Amino acid sequence: MKHRAVLALVAVFTVLSPSFAFGMIGLDIDKELLLLKEGRSELHISGAQFRIAVFAFEDPDQTGLGNALARLLSHDILVNSRLRSIGVLWYSGGVSSPAPGALNYYDKVEVLTEAQQATIAVWGVVRRQGGRLIVDTYTQVPPHTLRKAFHWRFRLPRAMGGSELLVQLNPDRIFLQRLELTLAEGEQLKASAARLNELRKKDGDDQPVIATLPMDSVYFLQKRKQDWVLVNAGEERTGWVRARGYCAEACAPLLSASKFVSGLLAFIQSHRQPKVDPSLTDDAKAVRDQLLALRALDEAPPEISDREALQVIDHWFTPTATGFSVPPGGAAMANLRAVIEIVGALKRESLEQGISGGGPDDRAFDRLELDRAWVAGIADQLADASMIDPRNAIVLQNLSVLFHYVGDTARARLAESLAEDARTLSRAAGITQ
């Protein structure tokens, strides 16, 4: 993000030296869990800057589509994300009902995602409903990625306490899509996924299949030629696979989910905004809007940056008889709104007073103050919204900062105590806020 005037709202992301890896490995979920339990697990495709874990969808009704869905999404992320360096971990199996005491499906996803330090995870559920199939697709932004790529901070002037206001993307477990298929369309999807394991002699559907892709070993993309990619799987297994056109008709909407995931990765790499297909859920659209609002706050002229940012997210706050509707992300979206208002007001104050630096040592910036009654109103609104998610440590920490500034010491101490309790609970659950 750029830095204008007093804006010090920055996302912290450590960019690794990319090894320019473009590869995928097929892994067995239960085998990987056993290796992890025995202390013999290793990072797969460790040289890639971005590593994406895509899991076979949970398949309680035994439709046989769990692995196929993950295969299609894995392939699209690998060949069409256009990142500098990416490795995809495609997990198959492990979707049957757990034995007593064993990990359930989502726990398996979470454990392996964390163990592999994957940048993002993709998973889902497929169910049979009468004569149709219902496919729900999710993506998960793990805590380490949230901290590095989707966490922003803004330091207030010293005259306002000098503390930081924080923003973090929410929801981090994003329900992306619900897709309905006929049973026949499900079989077509399964056939499309199977073809992705076939290596052809040349780039053409009429070319003979010369090999199949192996499990448990990495294969790499060597080059692209229009709608095809050349894949090298070692041991004389080099051939062509389609990059586009392999998932048509009823299968095609599924790839809107993988494109959204690729968009999140592009944001991490170069702050390009993810595009959201209209068929995706409100969760996906809310995530996009949060990123758009932060970009507007950062890049628009200071005198209108908060107005432009609020225009992006205000449609989520629909008036109701008891206040406002709950937007996706809940209290976190309200937190973003509060930070936008305060940052925007400080930017305008800086503009009026001719302050152009806004760095940590800018004495003129540090003398700025906002009207306490106005800030108290924002804090009250955020406190009301915090009831939606009373364990959101970031929201509570911001409330503590704002209440301290307006002189409401009792509420500031309460918010600070609740924030620490929330952080303690998160640490106990293995989550960092």
Structure tokens, 359: 């760095």
Within a domain: residue 294?
yes
Check whether residue 224 and residue 301 sit in a common domain: no
Secondary structure class of 198 (helix, strand, coil): strand
Check whether residue 221 and residue 291 sit in a common domain: no
Check whether residue 71 and residue 211 sit in a common domain: yes
Check whether residue 352 and residue 231 sit in a common domain: no
Check whether residue 58 and residue 186 sit in a common domain: yes
Q: How many domains does the chain have?
A: 2
Check whether residue 248 and residue 286 sit in a common domain: no
DSSP assignment letter at 119: S
Helices and strands (H and E) in the chain: how many: 13, 16
Structure tokens, 70: 């993950």
Check whether residue 138 and residue 231 sit in a common domain: yes
Check whether residue 245 and residue 287 sit in a common domain: no
Check whether residue 107 and residue 185 sit in a common domain: yes
Q: What is the pTM of this model?
A: 0.89
433 residues of the chain, pLDDT tens digit each = 333 334 444 433 333 333 457 899 999 999 999 999 999 999 999 989 999 999 999 999 999 999 999 999 999 999 999 888 999 999 998 776 666 677 899 999 999 999 999 999 999 999 999 899 999 999 999 999 999 999 999 999 999 999 999 999 999 999 999 999 999 999 999 999 999 999 999 999 999 999 999 888 899 998 899 999 999 988 778 999 999 999 988 899 999 999 999 999 999 998 888 889 998 999 999 999 999 999 999 899 999 999 999 999 999 988 765 566 678 888 999 999 999 999 999 999 999 988 865 555 578 899 999 999 999 999 999 999 898 888 899 999 999 999 999 999 999 999 999 999 988 876 666 555 5
Within a domain: residue 262?
no
Structure tokens, 198: 């076939």
Within a domain: residue 161?
no
Within a domain: residue 221?
yes
Within a domain: residue 218?
yes
Check whether residue 302 and residue 349 sit in a common domain: yes
Calpha distance 410→400 (Å, rounded): 10
- Pairing label, strands 219-225, 228-232: antiparallel
Residues of the domain holding 359: 279-428
Within a domain: residue 257?
no
> What DSSP letter does each residue of 239-263 carry, written as one string?
EEEESSSSS-GGGGGGHHHHHHHHH
Within a domain: residue 393?
yes
Check whether residue 334 and residue 390 sit in a common domain: yes
Secondary structure class of 64 (helix, strand, coil): coil
Check whether residue 222 and residue 288 sit in a common domain: no
